[in-house]
């Protein structure tokens, strides 16, 4: 069996934060093809440019020969790994269009005895209930008799250079024992941390979706605590520092919750729960708390400005960092966008700067108000009455007080969302 698997050719569908590192690692052990529907993405990668910053130019060079946006290049593969995004609509229901599109694409080239593995975060049951029927219709093949599927949830932490793909235990599952054996062999060949064989695809799907749901709820708790402690005039981070001296206290910190996973995945679980006749309360309460934080930060900022008599019509505010987390160029579902829009609606003159991503061309797509000015570089000197540090990138931390002093007015408020700076007379945090 092992010798047969080794000869398999693997196609990775979707070359974003998840697919590209996976393609790189698989290329060390297998014949591979990397596919993305975006010709722009493929062109950039062939030029050695990875906008996600997950791979270096040297690493990209090793997979460059295998990159394509041509479906016909996938025809002789025996394994297809789907790593497309699973976003939500504005009403928080799952947007399954990317997954459906990927299934139709794979189905158009699927052959007998092929294996399809899904890595995208979904609700329990989606692989076999939603994806498999599309594969059958597109391929005219019969599930389990002529092709099999597996599920191995992605666990990539964007921007994290310590907890990388190979160093995180990989959950694997298959529609039957033979499929599981194939899935496990493929991933155990590249994952140094090892694999965990889930008893079913549904279990693997559920395990992934609760990972981010648990994190979302934990952050919601500390966000609520920060609101309480603010009313009690207690520094939240000081409280958490003290509590962390107990060995079993979990060190979550308050802040904005965005990105393509944590702020999205809980809705996949609640959607499925509603279908099953159960109305989740704790999960949705956590989501509501975290969704409230951009407005809360604006309200707190304005309150501190008022205490210093800094609030005037069109007072200037600078938002530093528009990505959903530090040292990562990902702006998907970034709550910094909501933050900026609320600030602008509060009659403040809003400037924003992020050294990791060019926002100017994406303003409309991101829903950023046109009046908000995106800076390409920080001004040498400025007079901002309010500075909000949303994503404390290394560049900001390294510049520290020198950067802030050059940007602050004589009297200013610095709101440090993630508590990256020391609290002082001018610096406040959640």
- Please, what are the domains in the chain? 2-200 (3.40.50.720), 236-429 (3.40.50.720)
C-alpha of 387 from chain center: 25
pLDDT digits (tens, 9 = 90+) for 396-413: 988 878 888 889 988 899
The model's confidence at residue 104, banded by pLDDT at 50, 70 and 90, is: very high
Could you give the CA distance from residue 286 to residue 279 in angstroms, rounded to a whole number?
Answer: 14
Q: In Å, how far from its chain's centre is CA 183?
A: 24
d(CA 397, CA 403): 9
- pTM of the complete model: 0.93
Rounded alpha-carbon distances, angstroms, from residue 155 to 18, 97, 170, 325: 8, 22, 8, 16
**What angle do helix axes 282-291 and 293-307 make, rounded to 10 degrees?**
40
pLDDT for 1: 41
261 is catalytic: yes
- Whether 83 and 25 have beta carbons less than 8 Å apart is answered as no
Helix (H) or strand (E) holding 100: helix 97-109
CB 418 within 8 A of CB 257: no
349-353 β-sheet, strand order: 373-375, 349-353, 316-320, 384-389, 408-416, 427-429
From the candidates 103, 131, 261, 340, give the one annotated as an active-site residue: 261
**CA neighbours closer than 13 Å in the CB half-sphere of residue 129:** 10
Both tokens of 210, joined, read 């609760």
Quick: pLDDT tens for 169-186. Answer: 999 999 999 999 999 999
Average pLDDT over residues 206-233: 97
b (16+ CB within 10 A) / e for 178-212? ebbbbbbbbbebbbeeebeebeebbebbbbbbbbb
- Across 224-233, 323-332, 373-382, least confident range: 373-382
Nearest to 395 by CA among 377, 380, 373: 377
Tokens 């008022």 — which residue?
A: 306
Task: Give the pLDDT score at 348.
Answer: 87
Query: CA-CA distance, 337 to 388, in Å (whole number)?
Result: 13
Percent residues over pLDDT 70 in the chain: 98
> In sequence order, what are the beta bridge partners of 94?
88
For residue 319, what are the β-bridge partners? 352, 388
User: What is the rounded radius of gyration, in angstroms, for the C-alpha atoms of the chain?
Assistant: 23
The mean per-residue pLDDT over the stretch 229-246 comes to 96
Per the listing, tokens 């990668």 go with: 45
pLDDT > 90? residue 425: no
pLDDT at 413: 94
CB contact at 8 A, 127 and 201: yes
The rounded distance, in Å, linking the Cα atoms of 350 and 316 is 6
pLDDT band, residue 3 (cuts 50/70/90): very low
Average pLDDT of the residues in 126-149? 98
In order of 20, 202, 256, 270, the CA distances from 40 in angstroms are: 15, 35, 31, 35
Cα–Cα distance, 87 to 130 (Å, whole number): 16
Q: What is the pLDDT of residues 198-208, one digit of tens each?
A: 999 999 999 99
| Res 423: pLDDT | 66
pLDDT band at 76 (very low <50, low <70, confident <90, very high): very high
Lowest mean pLDDT among 3-12, 225-234, 377-386: 3-12
pLDDT top residue among 157 and 75: 75
**C-alpha span between 334 and 219 (Å, rounded):** 16
Nearest to 225 by CA among 235, 211, 213: 235
Question: What average pLDDT score do residues 13-42 get?
Answer: 97
Q: Tell me whether residue 309 is exposed, middle or buried, using C-beta atoms within 10 angstroms of its C-beta: 0 to 12, 13 to 18, 19 or more.
A: exposed
Q: How confident is the model at residue 156 (pLDDT cuts 50, 70, 90)?
A: confident
Looking at residues 162-168, what average pLDDT do you find? 92
Structure letter (DSSP) for residue 150: E
pLDDT band at 426 (very low <50, low <70, confident <90, very high): confident
**Does the structure show a pLDDT above 50 at 2?**
no
C-beta neighbour count of 166 within 10 angstroms: 11
Mean pLDDT across the stretch 136-160?
Answer: 94
- Determine the distance from the C-alpha atom of residue 328 to the mean position of all C-alpha atoms in its chain, rounded to a whole number: 10
Q: Which helix (H) or strand (E) holds 116?
A: strand 114-118
Mean pLDDT of the chain: 94
Cβ atoms within 10 Å of 177's Cβ, excluding its own: 8
């Amino acid at each position: 069996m092992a010798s047969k698997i080794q000869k398999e050719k693997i196609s990775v569908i979707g070359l974003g934060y998840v697919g590209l590192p996976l393609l790189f690692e698989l290329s060390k052990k297998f014949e591979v093809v990397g596919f993305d529907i975006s010709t722009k993405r493929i062109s950039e990668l062939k030029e050695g440019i990875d906008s996600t910053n997950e791979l270096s130019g040297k690493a990209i060079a090793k997979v460059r020969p295998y990159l394509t946006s041509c479906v016909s290049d996938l025809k002789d593969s025996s394994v297809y790994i789907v790593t497309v995004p699973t976003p939500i609509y504005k009403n928080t229901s799952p947007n399954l269009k990317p997954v459906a599109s990927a299934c139709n694409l794979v189905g158009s080239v699927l052959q007998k005895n092929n294996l399809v593995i899904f890595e995208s975060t979904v609700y329990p049951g989606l692989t076999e209930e939603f994806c498999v029927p599309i594969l059958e219709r597109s391929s005219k093949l019969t599930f389990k008799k002529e092709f099999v599927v597996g599920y191995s949830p992605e666990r990539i932490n964007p921007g994290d250079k310590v907890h990388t793909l190979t160093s995180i235990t990989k959950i694997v599952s298959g529609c039957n024992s033979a499929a599981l054996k194939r899935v496990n062999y493929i991933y155990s060949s590249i994952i140094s941390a090892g694999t965990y064989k889930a008893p079913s695809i549904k279990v693997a799907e559920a395990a992934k979706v609760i990972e981010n749901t648990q994190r979302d709820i934990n952050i919601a708790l500390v966000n609520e605590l920060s609101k309480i402690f603010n009313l009690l005039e207690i520094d939240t981070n000081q409280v958490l520092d003290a509590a962390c001296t107990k060995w079993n206290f979990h060190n979550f910190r308050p802040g904005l919750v965005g990105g393509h996973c944590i702020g999205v995945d809980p809705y996949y679980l609640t959607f499925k729960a509603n279908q099953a006749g159960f109305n989740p309360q704790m999960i949705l309460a956590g989501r509501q708390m975290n969704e409230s934080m951009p407005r809360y930060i604006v309200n707190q900022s304005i309150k501190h400005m008022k205490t210093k008599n800094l609030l005037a019509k069109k007072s200037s505010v600078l938002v530093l960092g528009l990505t959903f987390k530090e040292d990562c160029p990902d702006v998907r579902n970034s709550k910094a966008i909501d933050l900026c829009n609320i600030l602008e609606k509060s009659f403040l003159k809003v400037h924003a700067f992020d050294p990791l991503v060019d926002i100017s061309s994406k303003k409309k797509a991101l829903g950023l108000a046109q009046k908000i000015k995106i800076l390409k570089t920080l001004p040498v000197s400025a007079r901002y009455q309010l500075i909000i540090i949303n994503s404390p990138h290394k560049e900001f931390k390294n510049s520290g007080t020198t950067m802030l002093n050059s940007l602050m007015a004589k009297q200013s408020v610095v709101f440090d969302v993630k508590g990256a700076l020391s609290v002082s007379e001018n610096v406040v945090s959640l």
